[in-house]
Structure 1
Amino acid sequence: MAYRFITADTVDAVTTLAIARPDKLNALTPNVFAELNTAIDASLDEGARAIVLTGEGRAFSSGADLMPDGAGYEGLPEDLGDILEQHYNPFILRLMALPVPVITAMNGPAVGAGLALALAGDVVVAARSAYLLLAFVNIGLVPDAGATWLVARSAGRARAMEMALLGEKMTAADAQTIGLVTRVVDDETVLAEAQSIAARLAKGAGKAIGMIRAQVNHAVDASLVDVLTNECVNQRKAGFTEDFREALAAFGEKRVPVFKGR
């Protein structure tokens, strides 16, 4: 399918989605989210078992597009809560709830809501030259698209407060040090590294991987009792999967298991 604001490419059960507005530093609009949702639906229907999310050109995403673009986007509405409720928030929630892993290839700056989109990945691979920026305070706004939660839960209240209040750039290396970014690699290898990780996961025990990502996200806000209960429920399900039976057979036969995601 042809897209206007993104690109989508699937190789060996890994779908790579790229925001394709390099002239606008991949600024986000409702059209971008609509096309990402359509591409995700198509990739899952075609059997994708991992997704890579990145941006074209020199930025991952500069965040919300503040101005009309002459391509059907009229700019931000007067009530900013509307665009969040209708587009940003549903997409972030959907991304976090997908049954397949999401790897973000942060090829360049991730700013504002673009930062939230980058950090929503299960594994965040950043280019060495990339940076994170909660720029909202610089234009009189507050963090949105889940950026507050994502930064505070990963790096802690103090770091989240500093980033949100000062609105200063954070290098990829510093972001890795405080736990916001998983890996930092040379700029020219960032997409290949993310795709390699995704390919590895796509060959794994798909049902278990889906439950793991949901289980970890649940654990962030849950009590130990709730986590233990959730682990028990998920382990019961995992124990009945074909992948687990294949793993047991492979162990007994001293070979590498061949998982089918069932």
Structure 2
Amino acid sequence: MSETILVARSGDVTTITLNRPERINAFNVEMHGALAAAIAHVAEDGTRCLVLTGAGKGFCAGQDLSDRVSKPGDPPPDLGASLDARYNPLIRSLKALSMPVVAAVNGIAAGAGANLALACDIVVAAKSAAFVQSFCKVGLIPDSGGTWTLPRLVGAARATALMMLGDKVSAEQAVQWGMIWAFVEDDQLLTTVLAMAAQLAAQPTQGLALMKKALARSGANTLDAQLDLERDLQAEAGRTQDYSEGVRAFMEKRAPKFLGR
């Protein structure tokens, strides 16, 4: 695995750390490839919860602009092709994981880095962390799902202003606006997130995967369509071993032992 990311597993929890701290973990081609390979591996290795964080003082500064420097006279870069090749597959693969994904935002999350964090299922930030849609500062539009995710989290008015002004949102403000789940003291971030990840990994993760499917489709569905979807997914959940175990444990007044199947 490339040193641009670090992968560690403890029990059923895998932690992926973006590891270019000298560049605030900004994306270059190498880190994109390494992260894509790590996510693909996690999808198949039995991991029951994924934690995503950054090395050093920041979570991710987005795209490393020095990785795109062109010489005078060169044609302008095709940024659409870059999204098709790297950022869009990254967000799609992350959202498709059949396990909870928790972002531990340890510092600044800017541009695509902010939208990568917001694409996770649960976001916990250090008190000193901040989120910024920095695209307007270089004449671009938010990508990596930002124009889809952010309005759904904070509403159209706030999303529009954040994107057009490029203002930072503190961790505390992000919680107040419903952008993220929680913030904690800096020195408690990983301890808090890893405890949460262990709790999630011990839950009926196949049921959580079905929950993710229902939530992902709720924004586009009518109420009738969503009720039908809930019916179909609940029928699937009811056929899992974990549902049977959960009912037995409740009746026997003991803690359930879920296996994720």
Cross-structure match for 1:260? 259
Cross-structure match for 1:158? 157
How far residue 37 of structure 1 moved from its aligned partner, in angstroms, is 2.1
Write the distance in 2 (CA, Å) between the matches of 1:22 and 1:114.
13
- Secondary structure at the aligned position of 2:43 is classed as helix
How far residue 31 of structure 1 moved from its aligned partner, in angstroms, is 2.1
How far residue 176 of structure 1 moved from its aligned partner, in angstroms, is 0.8
How far residue 149 of structure 1 moved from its aligned partner, in angstroms, is 1.1
Write the distance in 2 (CA, Å) between the matches of 1:118 and 1:9.
19
The answer to whether the 8 Å contact 2:26/2:62 transfers is: yes
Cross-structure match for 1:78? 77
Taking structure 2 as the reference length, the TM-score comes to 0.95
Say whether 1:102 aligns with 2:110: no
From the superposition, tell whether residues 238 and 134 of structure 1 become closer, same or farther in structure 2 (CA, over 3 Å). Answer: same
- Secondary structure at the aligned position of 2:37 is classed as helix
Tell me the amino acid that sits aligned with residue 104 of structure 1: A
The answer to whether the 8 Å contact 1:65/1:75 transfers is: no
How far residue 206 of structure 1 moved from its aligned partner, in angstroms, is 1.3
* Residues 106-185 of structure 1 mapped to structure 2, 5 A cutoff: 106-185=105-184
How far residue 75 of structure 1 moved from its aligned partner, in angstroms, is 5.0
Give the root-mean-square deviation of aligned CA atoms. 1.3
C-alpha deviations, 1:114-170, integer Å up to 9, x for none?
010010111100010010101111111111111111110110000001101111111
Tell me the amino acid that sits aligned with residue 150 of structure 1: T
Taking structure 1 as the reference length, the TM-score comes to 0.94
Cross-structure match for 1:71? none
- Secondary structure at the aligned position of 2:142 is classed as coil
**Structure 2: runs of 5+ lacking an equivalent:** 71-75
- Secondary structure at the aligned position of 1:204 is classed as coil
Write the distance in 1 (CA, Å) between the matches of 2:123 and 2:25.
18
C-alpha deviations, 1:31-87, integer Å up to 9, x for none?
22221222223333331100000000000000011013xxxxx65871110110111
The answer to whether the 8 Å contact 2:2/2:30 transfers is: no
Write the distance in 1 (CA, Å) between the matches of 2:230 and 2:89.
26
**Structure 1: runs of 5+ lacking an equivalent:** 69-73
How far residue 226 of structure 1 moved from its aligned partner, in angstroms, is 1.6
Tell me the amino acid that sits aligned with residue 226 of structure 1: A
Tell me the amino acid that sits aligned with residue 176 of structure 1: V
Cross-structure match for 2:73? none
- Secondary structure at the aligned position of 1:45 is classed as coil
Cross-structure match for 1:48? 47
Identical amino acids, percent of aligned pairs: 38
C-alpha deviations, 1:174-214, integer Å up to 9, x for none?
11111111101001111221111111110110110111112
Write the distance in 1 (CA, Å) between the matches of 2:227 and 2:96.
20
Say whether 1:239 aligns with 2:249: no
Write the distance in 2 (CA, Å) between the matches of 1:110 and 1:213.
24
Write the distance in 1 (CA, Å) between the matches of 2:52 and 2:25.
12
The answer to whether the 8 Å contact 2:59/2:107 transfers is: yes
**Would you say how many aligned residue pairs link Structure 1 and Structure 2?**
256
Q: Which stretches of structure 1, 4 residues or more, deviate above 6 A after TM superposition? A: none
Write the distance in 2 (CA, Å) between the matches of 1:43 and 1:141.
32
How far residue 225 of structure 1 moved from its aligned partner, in angstroms, is 1.4
The answer to whether the 8 Å contact 1:10/1:43 transfers is: no
Write the distance in 1 (CA, Å) between the matches of 2:162 and 2:19.
27
